[in-house]
Every structure is written in C-alpha cells, then in structure tokens.
Structure 1
Amino acid sequence: MLAEDLRPTPTPSPLAPYDAVMLASFGGPDGPADVLPFLRNVTAGKGIPDERLAEVAEHYHHFGGASPINGQNIALREALEGELRRRGIDVPVVWGNRNWTPYTVDALRAAHADGARRVVALVTSAYASYSGCRQYREDFWSSLEDLGTELGLAPGEQPLVLDKVRPYFNDPGFVQGNVDAVVEAWQDLPADARLVFVTHSVPTTMEAASGACGPSYSEQHLDVAATVAASAAVRLGHTVEWELTYCSRSGPPSQPWLEPDVNDHLARLHEEGVGSVVIAPIGFVSDHMEVVYDLDTEAMETAAELGMTAVRAATVGTREVFVRGLVDLLVERAAEARALDAGEVPAEPVTTGWLPARPSACRPGCCRRQDGVDSGRPAACSEDPHA
C-alpha cells in the first residue's frame, strides 16, 4: 500500500459547490459629491428631474452626504467571514452593490480573478418583490454579461455560475433577531404600549406582482410581524397589540402605494389615546437611510409633536443570531445545489411562521413588474431568465 493511500479523505466543504460568497446590496453615497450621481443611478429610466432628486438628496446631506449603509455592509461582510471561519469554511466573501461602488460587476470580477467559478449571492433584502429580489437578479444578469465582455467571452457565454439564497423573511435567525430587538426596546415602556412595525412602501402594482409566485410583499411582512409579536409577548409576559405600517413613499400622489404611512398611523394612535410605541423596522436589515431619516428623524419628530413616547427597535444588523442564520442559509443553498446536481430532491428549508419558503431559483414571471410596467430585462438565478 502506498503512503498516499493512508491519507484521510478530505471532508467536502459545507458550501460546495460554491467557491465564493457575494454579499449583494443597494449601495449608497460615500460623500456629498456622490449623492446626486447615486440618486440618478437609483432612478435611471424613470424620468425624474434633478430638481426632485435634489429634494431627496437633502436626506443624505442631513447626515453629511454619506449613507450609513456602506459601513454596515462592511461590518456584515466581516461578521459573515468570522462565522464562516468559526465553522471551518474557507471561502472568500465579496461585496457588490446595485447602485454605487463597489458595483456588482466589481465583486464578480474580484471573485473570478480569485478563481471562483460558482458563486452564491446573499441579498441584503429579506423579502421578495421587484425591488427586493428581481431587480437584484436583473443586475446580476447584466453584470455577468459585462464581465463576460471584459473577458472576451462569446455573446451569451457567462464567466461563472451565480446562484442566490432564497428570500429569508421567515428564516429563524432573521425573525429571532427582530424579536430580541423588540423585547430590548420595550424594557422601559408600559405593557399597554403599541408595537408599530415598519417597512418600505411599494406601489400597489408591485405588491400585486410580488404575489404571482407565492405570498405577496405585504403578506410576507404580516407573517413576520405576527410571529415577532407573538414571541415578544411570551418574553414580555403580556399581550402585544401591533400594526404594520409603511415609510419612504415616493412617486406621484395619483399612484397608489401601500399604506398606512407610519406618521399618519402615529397620529391615529394618539387620537385613540395611545401614549407609548415601539417602532420596529422589520423591513430593513440595517440602519440605512430609510431608518435613520424616515424613522429616527421624521417619525420620532412626529411622535414628539404628539407627546408620545417612542422607542425605535434596532434592526438585525450584525446580531449573532442573524449572522448565524445567514450562514445557515448559505449552507442550506449549497446542500440544495448539490442535491439538484445529483438529480435528487433537496431537503425542505427551515422556516418559522405560517408561510412556506420562497424558492431559491425564482419561477418565470416572479416579481416581474416595477410600478406596473414589465422591465423586459433578463434576470439571473431564475428557472427561465427571459420569462
């Protein structure tokens, strides 16, 4: 027997077949000079004049012209790397944005140069909708095409395989992180305080399209809200009354968006005699602009004007339970890929709440509409990218 035959067989990585992870996010300006170009990227093709963008830019200039999302993504990437190392998983984690540097193509270029040929993407949006899922997948497709062109590949030939983790609104780590945040925020409030969940509003046409292949955007949030409120009530030892509200509405007044607005809802609660509220931003994974301006600035000002006591619950950010859950999702997606590659049926995803898991590879027609108009762009990580 040769000495080589006595060597132990290497244990396959729990992330095989993936050789890199991409953290995919929205992006944000790094300084005052970036704000208007960034907003032009965000609104490209919508015909919004610079005069209107200048009004939105003031939200960023209120905080020195830099979005907090970039630092938070760096922190989340480092936390993911740390949890992967703790589990003995040695893969690089690259970071790319849809709307600002580093762009998605920058992240894919770095992964490809490092030798990666199959990458799994983790999006910093927990919910399925056009803006929260398909728009990222459209960006993945165009970024893969751009990188292929750079590398001199033939048209239609892509430089690597890119899969993604399923929308994770009902992942136990995400939900538990929100439960912990609500309980912490409630510590100095009376039992009859009201729990006000908040997420980003979307046009009602986008809401309708999000339900074509599973629970809709609002239904996903209602499921998370009900689960978080029920768990928080057990921990707090009293009943918890709650409502789901929305923030960050944009677009013309004639276009219907999901309601109620959080500020309008606070006014209604005040009329009902509610004196204290916990504002829980379950629609966001970190404290980016919609949280620090729309909630920490505008909603808190509304509450103060009404004479209400308001405490804003933290986002899940880099909480250990959330980061562990994200790595669990990466491992789950890798196991699914291995099963499918072998022609086997993947294991059922682990979820909490009452709704089923959304699929990892999106079905044709899933979340296709933006403000009621078909984008017409192919999307990666789909059963049929052109459907």
Structure 2
Amino acid sequence: MPDQIPARCVIVGCGMVAQEYMATLTAHPDLVRVTACADLDPERARVFADRHDLTPVTVEEAVEGMAGDLIVILTPPHTHLALAERAVTAGVAVYLEKPLGDDAAAGQRLLDRARAQGVAVGCAPDTVLAPPARLAAQLIEQGVLGTVTSASATLVGPGPESWHPTPQTLYAEGVGPLRDMGPYYLSMLVHLLGPVSTVHGSAQHHRTPRHTLGGESFPAQSPTHVNSLLSFASGASATLTVGWDGSVSATPHLEIRGTDATLALPDPNFHHGTLRLRHSWREPWKELHPPAADPPPGRGIGVLATTRRLTTPHPPWESAELALHVLHLIEAIEHAATREPCPVPAHTR
C-alpha cells in the first residue's frame, strides 16, 4: 500500500474501455498517476503505451506489483478473478471492470482473501457514484417517493453488433445481455433499494445468427433476451428486462415507484442525465438536474474512490460487495430461467 497519493496505477487490458478510463484518470492527477499498461496481447499494450506515454509491462509484472500500487483490470470477464487473486496475493490493490467475474463462489474467495490481507478491492460499475445516482438516493432517503413499492429496469435494443467492431465476444457462452449490461441495472437497483432475496427468471434465444458491421455471420451462444422478477429484502419488487432483440423502447431505463411519487432515472450505463419526478397523474413530470461536476465524471471514478482508501487501515468494501451480490443475482437469474426460483445469499451493506 502506498503511504500517500497520487498512487501509481497500471492499466491491465488495453481495449476500447481503457481509453475511457484514461480520460477520467488523467483528469485527476492529484489522486492517481497512470504509469504503465499491460495486455494479454503485448503488441496492443505497446500501442496503448505509445499513445498515452506509458511504460508497457507484462501482465505478470503488473499483477505481482512490480509496476504500480493499484492495477485496473479491464481484460475479458472470464480472466478477472484469476488476475485479481494473483494481485491480491501479492498485496496489490485491485479495481475490476464489471462484472466481478464469472463465478460467484470464486468471487467470494477473492474478497475473503483481500479482507484477510487488508488489500483494497473495488469493482465497476461506478455509475452508482455519479450525480444522477446520488440525487436519486437522496430523494429516496428523504422520503420524497413515500414507501418504495416497485421498480422496473429495461434495456431493449438491436444489440452491440450495431456499433461494436468484434461483437462475437459479447454473444459467447456465459456472456449475453444479462452479464454484459445487467450489472449496470442490477447495481443501481441494489444501490437504491437494498439487497435482493429471491428471483424468478426466463431467458430466450431470438435472433441468431447475428451479423457484424462487415456482414460476417456468427452464432448467439448465450440467451439474447432475459426477464426477471426481483424480490427485495425491503419488501419492494422489481422487473428486469435486458435484451438485444428489439429495435427501440420507450420504457424508461429505470423507474422507481413509491406510494407518493415515481422517479425515472437516466441510463445507468452512463454517468450523466436528467431525472424525472411525478407525484400523480394530475401533475406533469418535473425534470431534476443533478449538480454539475468539474471535471465531469466518467468511467474510472470508482478507481478514484478506491485510490482514496489505499491509505486507510481498514479499507471499505462497498463496491466489491455490491459487485459480488450482483454476480450472485446473475447466477440466480440464469438458474431460475430454467428451474424453480432461486434464493440469493444475503448481501451486507
């Protein structure tokens, strides 16, 4: 652990999202200094290093703490937990892009080891730290909505092949819209409403094969449309719909309903947007604009939050615990889609 900040940070995984992280992290030189990068493809790491004036290192050097105080893991999800465990074992703080991993039991072992060794672990999505989420949490805590009774979360669209250069990876077995986009919606729901106790689920394959922007066809190996009913420990319930088989939807990305008012939130995949509040059908929707931040928040603000905790004797675990609960939820939804409703392990806040 460093004695002071800015901490030295190493990017591990130099794909598309790494560019967004760099934009955020370089805007906060007082907290973090990105000094090196690594990738499972060394040539990709070299190109990224040249672009951002970093030192290219091997993945082994990064996870063993030879290049920095904190590693940011942006590699494919199935590699997250193995890399993070190696780093934690070496005493290196870790921040992971969502999801935490592909196995909740392994995720629990990682967090247990991190606690035992006093190593900080953080995990995306960090949109729960952004101004729209803070304002929504404030309104709920102040009782503006009354008693929250239900919610809905919806992502329906044509799929990432409409913009992603290599969408095949997002349709591979064990990925799909639930594991790729679900963490944004589930994290926000749990952040605002508390832990989920049970789920029901259904999953379908619709459009397959799919086609890249260049016209290449490929199979969809994971369900392309998932519905779930979530029962929260608080007594509230929510529906979750994530699918890549539609063209467009007018349903709000997130809607929280209470006995006194309804709150519509912007897309939880992003760090900005306007909220809408309505008290009854007699009144129009009222737009609520969160306070502006300078510099504007973006992907990577969770890294900054983790960096601030590096010098504390007992780092908090909020984002990692939330990510683990979300991973349990994803597994439970997948299980419930073909079996009886599945109980979810308790989440401690």
TM-score by length of 2: 0.37
TM-score by length of 1: 0.34
Name which one, 1 or 2, has greater alpha-carbon Rg: 1
